[in-house]
Amino acid sequence: MKRRLASFKADPVEINVSPLIDMVFILLIFFIVATSFVNEIGLTPKHRDTADPTHRLDPPVAFDLTGEGRILNKGAEVALAGVAPVVRAASARKPKPVILRVNPGAKAGLATRVMDQAMLGGAKTVKLSAVAASSPK
């Protein structure tokens, strides 16, 4: 017994690592293929849906986006670059929520840019609301 142990120690068995390498390669290829590098940047216009009507804090700064792509604030047309100053002026003392009412036909790209400008003007919450198709433009 003693002799056998001694001879075992003296003659180490080399482990064959090739199956291990094969396995690791297969796993590696699986993970390379399965990985999808989604790296998005974007806007997160937070807004709370206040179901409680008494919880109304401030009247929001409202913008309307017409189907033709015009931006209206209190009925007056503003340019895209004019959105940020309007929001900044309105929320000078306290940040105010912004609501963007979009009419059918307005482009999502423009709506996103208006939201971007509103957030640039300091708005934290921007709500996007769709105007029903039946309402007059």
Partner 1 sequence: MKLRRRLLKEKEVEAINVSPLIDVVFILLIFFIVSATFVKVPGEEVLRPHAVTAESLEKNAILFALAADDSLYYAGETISIDEVRPLVEELRREVNAPVVIQVDELADATKLAKLAREGKLAGAPVSIATRKPE
- Shortest spacing between CB 17 and partner 1, in angstroms: 7
Q: Which of residues 67-96 bind partner 1 (CB under 8 A)?
A: none
Residues 120, 129: contact at Cβ < 8 Å?
no
Q: Give the distance, in angstroms, between the CA of residue 47 and the centroid of all CA atoms in the same chain.
A: 13
- Shortest spacing between CB 5 and partner 1, in angstroms: 28
The CA-based angle 62-96-137, given to 5 degrees, is 5
DSSP state of 94: S
Phi then psi dihedrals of residue 100, to 5 deg: -115, 110
Segment interacting with partner 1, rule: CB under 8 A, options 5-13, 18-26, 72-80, 88-96: 18-26
Query: Around Cβ 84, how many Cβ atoms within 10 Å?
Result: 18
Q: Using the rule CB under 8 A, is 19 a contact of partner 1? A: no
- Shortest spacing between CB 72 and partner 1, in angstroms: 14
Q: Using the rule CB under 8 A, is 129 a contact of partner 1? A: yes
Q: Is 34 helix (H, G, I), strand (E, B) or coil?
A: helix
Query: 11 vs 49, which CB is nearer to partner 1?
Result: 49
Q: Which of residues 23-52 bind partner 1 (CB under 8 A)?
A: 24-25, 27-28, 31-32, 34-47, 49
CA gap 51, 75 in Å, rounded: 27
Query: 62 vs 110, which CB is nearer to partner 1?
Result: 110
Q: Which helix (H) or strand (E) holds 118?
A: helix 108-120
Which residues contribute to the site for partner 1 (CB under 8 A)?
17, 20-21, 24-25, 27-28, 31-32, 34-47, 49, 65, 102-113, 115-116, 119-120, 128-131, 133
